[in-house]
Amino acid sequence: MTMRRLSVFNVTSLVIGFAFLYLPILLLVIYSFNASRLVTVWGGFSTQWYGALFRNEALMEAAWVTLRVALLSATLATVLGTLAALALTRYGRFPGRTLFTGMVYAPMVMPEVITGLSLLLFFVAVDFDRGFWTITLAHTTLTMCFVTVVVQSRLMTFDRSLEEAAMDLGAPPLRTFFSVTLPLIAPSIVAGFLLAFTLSMDDLVIASFNTGPGATTLPIKIYSAVRLGLSPEVNAASALLIGIVTLGVISATLISKRSVMRSRRNAH
Amino acid sequence: MRRSFAPWANPDAKPLIRFENVTKRFGESTAVDHLSLDIFEGEFFCLLGPSGCGKTTLMRMLAGFETPTEGTITLGDQNLAGVPPYRRPVNMMFQSYALFPHMSVEKNIAFGLKQDGMPKDQIADRVGEMLRLVQLEKLARRYPSQLSGGQRQRVALARALAKKPKVLLLDEPLGALDKKLREETQFELMDIQHDLHMTFVVVTHDQEEAMTMADRIAVMDHGRIVQVATPGEIYEQPKTRFIAEFVGDVNIIEGHVQGQENGLWRVKTSSAEVPLTIDDPDEVLHSGQPVAIAVRPEKMVIQRDPPGPGAINVLTGEVWDIGYLGDWTVYRVKLATGEILRVTRANASRFVESPIEWDEQVYVTFAPDAAVILAE
């Protein structure tokens, strides 16, 4: 495919499209460097709000909770999601496979409000104290399907004869999995983990349904802070959050792209 | 320089691999159908057949990746039923080579040895030996993605040989190589097999490959073995029309048995005025039986001048096509019945005074013992 020359029309639509998507975020990032206390008035460049942010214990506490929730739920989601992906690709057409596939993918398209609400009802029904653990479990539910999608797409292009070769050379199934299968699908698992991690980091809806005392995540904190009035500190916190999420998504994309390219190269 | 080697002809010889009445069904379809086969130690054995004939399934059952629906497979004195692939003294070279992309060449070759718990220094020795065998010493540290197709094939071979299996299975080993490399590799495989005194079982759909390499060939069709014999027997004494047509080129002339005279069969056909005379004493036929006469193209003689009176097996027609292949010339001769015969002639001399041309009236003859009668 050759690069088409950019026409005026193309450039314009590109600029408008990107502006539509990213101008608000760009504005937020710019204003996080505002020297003025008034959020809407530019008072010169300053990094003071980042300093203030790190001294704001409530915000830092929320950031710490968010990080722990994200790490733990992403880890759980990665294990469960990978197992689901293996089951979906490996066990052929077992009865109820279509149903299972649909059920694994459902949280992807399910309105977050509903996921959040149903989880809340569940936790109340089983009398589970809401807080850190309920958010973690709720995020695991939300993000598992994304891991499954990423890992499954890798497994579909996986050459099964590699596993047969390992077994043929004397490796029992479990050793085959750890010495051949796992190293080869590892990039997609890492990508799935990063995706789950970032999704958990920036989730507000499900977290606010399932939060409890002492478990305020950063998005919840920011949301409630903004309701009381905009503050430049929140801008700074948001900018940092955007940075982390962007980094996560970019590395997830790069990792899975590289592994796909490598597996293609080997196929030839 | 091949030793005379024919354990299959010795009734006392004990086969190394024994398929007994093996059937494999996948749902409704039958891939292997009540098949029995003996393979002897040290044989270079080829399973030959069109795609879907069950040859790969047969090999995969030997490797342990498929379980027979019925029947037993024995290796030496061991019944292989229930023995998983990782406990069989059999190694396989995969069609796709199946090299581990995250391991270097030497790690790939060492993989099987490591599974056996061989000490490190012995593994290193053995890997070195294998690398020398396939002439890849310089590429030991490379990864599969950095190798050419031919080099990958060698790594796959070295990896499968490293454990000194009792039987080496090769699934279309040369399928991915280009023609020239394929020919070289055929002879290399034969040398390696000979030097290591190993039993090789090769699956291929390429009859030329099978003919070149094998001690014996089993021709398969629809899950059954149609004939097991040496390449020479398969080519010169095909048992069925399928084999005659699948292995090499052949002209088939259909007719009916008229009778036997002096041990020679007389077969009446619409292709020739006089009944054809065929010397195939092993066939048991009765008068009126429909048969097919198979004659290889190189065993037919094409000439412009009418053969003398009393000549037998004369077919007349006109030259329809001429293909010059350098070493051979292929003539396609159209008979009055519309049948097309394929006749080849070795180009023994560089210049021919008046070569046979297109549309010329020609006579095609063949000796009685050049033909094989195949019962329909």
How do residues B79-89 score in pLDDT, each as one tens digit?
Answer: 999 999 999 99
Residue B351 predicted with pLDDT over 60: yes
Among A154, A160, A169, which would you mutate to test the B interface (most chain B Cβ atoms within 10 Å of its Cβ)?
Answer: A169
Residue B363 predicted with pLDDT over 90: yes
pLDDT digits over B7-34, tens only? Answer: 998 888 999 999 999 999 999 999 999 9
Residue B178 predicted with pLDDT over 90: no
Q: How far apart are CA A143 and CA A130, in angstroms?
A: 19
Contacts of residue B104, defined as CB under 8 A and 6 or more positions apart, other chains included, come to: B140, B141, B142, B143
* Prediction ipTM score: 0.85
Residue B2 predicted with pLDDT over 60: no
What is the three-class DSSP state of A230? coil
CA triple A59-A63-A66, angle to 5 deg: 140
Domain count, chain A: 1
Predicted local confidence at residue B263, as pLDDT: 84
CA distance A250 to chain B (A): 24
Find tokens 């998507």 and name the residue.
Answer: A21
Among B61, B94, B108, B115, which would you mutate to test the A interface (most chain A Cβ atoms within 10 Å of its Cβ)?
Answer: B115
- Contact present, A69 and A139 (Cβ < 8 Å): yes
Report the residue from A164, A168, A262 with minimal CB separation from B101: A262
Report the residue from B101, B116, B145 with minimal CB separation from A170: B116
Nearest to B214 by CA among B241, B240, B239, B247: B247
Mean of pLDDT values over B337-361:
89
- B96 and A CB contact within 8 Å: yes
Predicted local confidence at residue B271, as pLDDT: 87
Label residue B192 by pLDDT band (50, 70, 90).
very high
Residue B106 predicted with pLDDT over 90: yes
- Contact present, B43 and B193 (Cβ < 8 Å): no
pLDDT digits over B260-280, tens only? Answer: 888 899 999 988 888 999 998
Q: Give the pairing of strands B199-204 and B44-48.
A: parallel
CA distance A262 to chain B (A): 8
Type of residue found at A39: V
Tell me where in chain B the CATH 3.40.50.300 domain(s) lie.
Answer: 7-245
Sheet strand arrangement including B224-229: B90-93, B167-171, B199-204, B44-48, B216-221, B224-229
Among B61, B145, B177, which would you mutate to test the A interface (most chain A Cβ atoms within 10 Å of its Cβ)?
Answer: B145
- Contact present, B335 and B315 (Cβ < 8 Å): yes
More confident residue, B235 or A109: B235
Asked whether residue A73 is assigned to any structural domain, the reply reads yes
Q: What would the 3-class secondary structure string for B316-376 be? A: EEEEEEEEECCCEEEEEEEECCCCEEEEEEECCCCCCCCCCCCCCEEEEEECHHHEEEEEC
Percent of chain B at pLDDT above 70?
99
Compute how many other C-beta atoms are within 10 angstroms of the C-beta atom of residue B202.
27
Question: Which chain B residue has its CA at the smallest distance from A165's CA?
Answer: B98
Nearest to B215 by CA among B198, B197, B229: B229
Architecture of domain B7-245 in this structure: 3-Layer(aba) Sandwich (3.40)
* Residue B288 in tokens: 């009126």
Label residue B1 by pLDDT band (50, 70, 90).
very low
User: For residue B77, with 0-12 CB atoms within 10 Å meaning exposed, 13-18 middle and 19 or more buried, which class applies?
Assistant: exposed
Predicted local confidence at residue B145, as pLDDT: 92
CATH code for the domain in which residue A131 is found:
1.10.3720.10
Q: How far apart are CA B241 and CA B375, in angstroms?
A: 8
Nearest to A160 by CA among A92, A233, A104: A92
Name the least confident of A243-252, B129-138, B357-366: A243-252
Question: Which chain A residue has its CA at the smallest distance from B116's CA?
Answer: A170
Give the global pTM: 0.81
Report the residue from A161, A169, A172 with minimal CB separation from B163: A169
Question: Which chain B residue has its CA at the smallest distance from A186's CA?
Answer: B102
Distant-in-sequence contacts of B123-131, Cβ < 8 A, 24+ apart: B126/B162, B127/B162, B130/B158, B130/B159, B130/B161, B130/B162, B131/B105, B131/B106, B131/B158
Report the residue from A161, A162, A167 with minimal CB separation from B85: A167
Predicted local confidence at residue A264, as pLDDT: 59
Counted residue by residue, chain A has a size of: 268
Contacts of residue A200, defined as CB under 8 A and 6 or more positions apart, other chains included, come to: A66, A69, A70, A73, A74, A139, A142, A143
What is the three-class DSSP state of B183? helix
SS3 content of chain B, % helix, strand, coil (to 5): 25, 35, 40
- pLDDT tens by residue, chain A, 268 residues: 455 667 888 889 889 988 888 888 888 888 888 888 777 788 888 888 888 888 888 888 898 899 999 999 999 999 999 999 998 888 777 788 888 888 888 888 889 899 999 999 999 999 998 999 999 999 999 999 999 999 999 998 899 999 999 999 999 999 999 999 999 999 899 989 998 998 998 899 999 999 988 889 989 988 888 888 777 888 888 888 888 888 888 888 888 777 666 665 655 4
Is B101 close to A263, i.e. CB distance below 8 A?
yes
What is the three-class DSSP state of A229? coil
Q: Whole domain around residue A173: which residue ranges?
A: 56-267
Contacts of residue B73, defined as CB under 8 A and 6 or more positions apart, other chains included, come to: B17, B18, B19, B20, B22, B61, B62, B79, B80, B81
Predicted local confidence at residue A40, as pLDDT: 73
More confident residue, A164 or B355: A164
Query: Where are the alpha helices (H) located in chain B, listed in sequence order?
Result: 55-63, 105-115, 120-133, 149-161, 179-196, 207-213, 231-236, 241-246
Residue B180 predicted with pLDDT over 90: no
Asked whether residue A248 is assigned to any structural domain, the reply reads yes
The backbone torsions φ and ψ at residue B188, rounded to the nearest 5 degrees and listed phi first, read -65, -45
Is A171 close to B65, i.e. CB distance below 8 A?
no
- B115 and A CB contact within 8 Å: yes
CA distance B88 to chain A (A): 8
B145: which chain A residues are within 8 Å (Cβ-Cβ)? 262, 265-266
- Which CATH superfamily is B249-375 part of? Nucleic acid-binding proteins (2.40.50.140)
Is B86 close to A184, i.e. CB distance below 8 A?
no
Tell me where in chain B the CATH 2.40.50.140 domain(s) lie.
Answer: 249-375
